[in-house]
Amino acid sequence: MAVERLSECDCGKVQVKAVGGPILSCVCYCDDCQAGGRKLEELGARGFRDQWGGTPLLVYRDDRIERVKGADLLRAVKLKDDSPTTRFIATCCNSAMYLKYRPGWWTSMYTARFKGDVPKLQMRSQTQHAPKGADLPRDAPIYRSFPAALFLRLLRARLAMVFG
């Protein structure tokens, strides 16, 4: 049986299930993730970014995500009306839950929302946008931009979705 992980807001009213292994476990420091993180923090979300403003994420195929409980409590948040990325926050307790990039076939779920064991961190990306002088941990490969390995993982996941 495939591994199931439950992502839950702080008060437990919103739950999202992820089935199987993630495409990737990463921390993203890109400008968009940092701006989006600040926006969610303005709405009351806390504890989902690292001390350098990076966003720890478990990235799953869309067909492996299921909103189990409280979908009506999720609020979509965009930086701009035409932004391709939408972040979702649980309105019951202001927990940052996940983000969705359109037209992508994946969902990036905030690692902080998962209880128990989570997959080991595989990379830190877009570190060129981390604060100057940030002494990032060397617990995973560090990439100044989006590495080819990220795109290869996404492509493999897409092919697996198409061909089963």
Domain 4-163, classified CATH 2.40.110.20, yes or no? no
pLDDT digits (tens, 9 = 90+) for 94-133: 999 999 999 999 999 999 999 989 999 999 999 999 999 9
Q: What is the pLDDT of residue 39?
A: 98
CA distance 103 to 70: 24
Low-confidence ranges of the chain (pLDDT < 70): 1
Indicate the pTM of the whole model: 0.95
**Alpha carbon separation from 135 to 5, 17, 51, 55, 120 (Å, rounded):** 31, 34, 10, 16, 20
pLDDT at 2: 84
Query: What is the per-residue pLDDT for 126?
Result: 98
> What residue type is assigned to position 17 of the chain?
K
Which pLDDT belongs to residue 164?
A: 80
Q: Is 38 in contact with 30 (CB distance < 8 Å)? A: no
The number of CA neighbours under 13 Å toward the Cβ of 157 is: 21
For 30-79, list the strands marked E by DSSP: 55-61, 65-69, 74-77
Query: Pairing relation of β-strands 123-125 and 24-28?
Result: parallel
